[in-house]
Amino acid sequence: MTRTLLFHSGMPKTGTTSIQNACHAARGDLLALDRILYPGLAANHTNPVCTLFMDDPARHISNKMANIQTAEALTGLQARYRAELVHELERDDWDTLVISAEGAANLSRGELGALRDWFGLYVDRIEVIYYLREPIGYTASVTQQLLKGGMVLADLYAKPELPNWKGRLANAIAVFGRDHVRIRDFGAGTKAEGGLVADFCDTLGFSAAAKAAVLAHEKRDNESLSMEAAEMLSALNTLRPMFGPEGRSARRTGRETLTFEQLPGQKFTLPLPVRRTVHERTRPDVAFVNETFGTSLFDTPPPEGSDAPPAAGPGTPAFEATVLLVSDLLNANEALRACLQARHMADGKNLDGARSRLAYAEGLCPDDPVVTTEADRIRRRYKL
């Protein structure tokens, strides 16, 4: 029996969340109908894959956000991920393994080699699939993602994030071989009958029944920021940085973006000079893709036109005060939730856990009298 790994490696910002959530929800049907194993340890396999195969998994953004930085903590996380994967891979009821991890597009050649060798213990063949997005659209989307991770617009505009297809795809080709690396136009996929998730199922060769099962679980989430929300989040990242020298700032929950995503406003658009820069600097990538894969993708003229009117408010005292007020309110909500968790832990005799949650709460809101009073009350009551 030949076993195959279909390794969906992004690229980032190509609708991977919708694909992953639908496949994860339908994993029982995929196994029963097509003998396809979609590992259940997460919908998005990026965190397990990057934690297991990066040379320094402390660099992975999710581990930074969770403050998983010590060798002991990282080793423990790797052991848990590996054990969960092995538990599923050692089953005998699958022929095809689907791993979906857009973050793996950033792995080095050596890291991809380690991934190939480990999964090669369980499969006979590895096929790598990438969706590619038009460069300016890619940069606009990844700019928002990096903004959510703590960066600021001025820096992202000064040095825009580019798709780096040549570097990423050349690494994959060197490790897996050109005949085992496939690309698909993200724009064409979104316009295909049934949309992007349907196109993904067809690209990977799912049966009609398995495809229907996946589509039954499809949910189209919009995680984009309005221009106004992006400006506000950028201001927050400037005034109250997400990360400091020792990891994530005690004054940030890391979940503020869920609130900013709900703010209406103008569509987020890169400034015209940035769009022109992205277009110019990605011509070598476009040429590499088309020469390597025999395609004619993204051969477009330089962007023209003008910028939209600026969003109102950035840089003014009222704007910055509003940003900090939103952050303070979110922090207070999170801190009071942590105090409640501390009380439940203390009731259960987990005093160390209770102390840790109280310290977290006071770190978020060191000057909030409601939070500090509640923390003091819990300490006195349980003699912490």
**pLDDT score of 316 more than 70:** no
Q: How far is CA 275 from CA 72, 138, 144, 272, in A?
A: 43, 11, 15, 5
Tell me the mean pLDDT in the region 328-343.
89
pTM: 0.79
Lookup: tokens for 114:
């380690």
Per-residue pLDDT tens over the stretch 144-172: 999 998 999 999 999 999 999 999 999 99
Paired residues of 183 in beta bridges: 130
Measured CA distances, 338 to 66, 298, 345, 358, 361 (Å): 16, 49, 10, 7, 6
The DSSP call for residue 55 is S
Question: What does the domain layout of the chain look like in residue ranges?
Answer: 4-215, 225-267+316-384
Tell me the average pLDDT across 64-89. 91
Q: How many whole angstroms separate alpha carbon 329 and alpha carbon 187?
A: 39
Residue 348 has pLDDT above 60, yes or no: yes
Secondary structure (3-state) at 375: helix
**Inter-helix orientation angle 208-215/195-204, to 10°:** 150
First-residue to last-residue Cα distance in the chain: 60
Bridging pattern class, strands 125-132 and 4-8: parallel
The yes/no answer on whether domain 4-215 falls in CATH 3.40.50 is: yes
The yes-or-no verdict on residue 47 having pLDDT over 80 is: yes
Contact 147, 261 (CB under 8 A): no
Closest CA to 97 of 217, 222, 2: 2
Confidence of residue 76 (pLDDT cuts 50, 70, 90): very high
Percent of the chain at pLDDT > 70 equals 97
* Rounded mean pLDDT, 375-381: 90
Q: What is the pLDDT, as a whole number, of residue 315?
A: 65
Question: Is the Cβ–Cβ distance between 252 and 220 less than 8 Å?
Answer: no
Measured distance CA(226)–CA(223) in Å, rounded: 10
Across 206-216, average pLDDT: 97
Structural contact between residues 192 and 230, judged by C-beta atoms closer than 8 angstroms:
no
Least confident of 79-83, 284-288, 322-326: 322-326
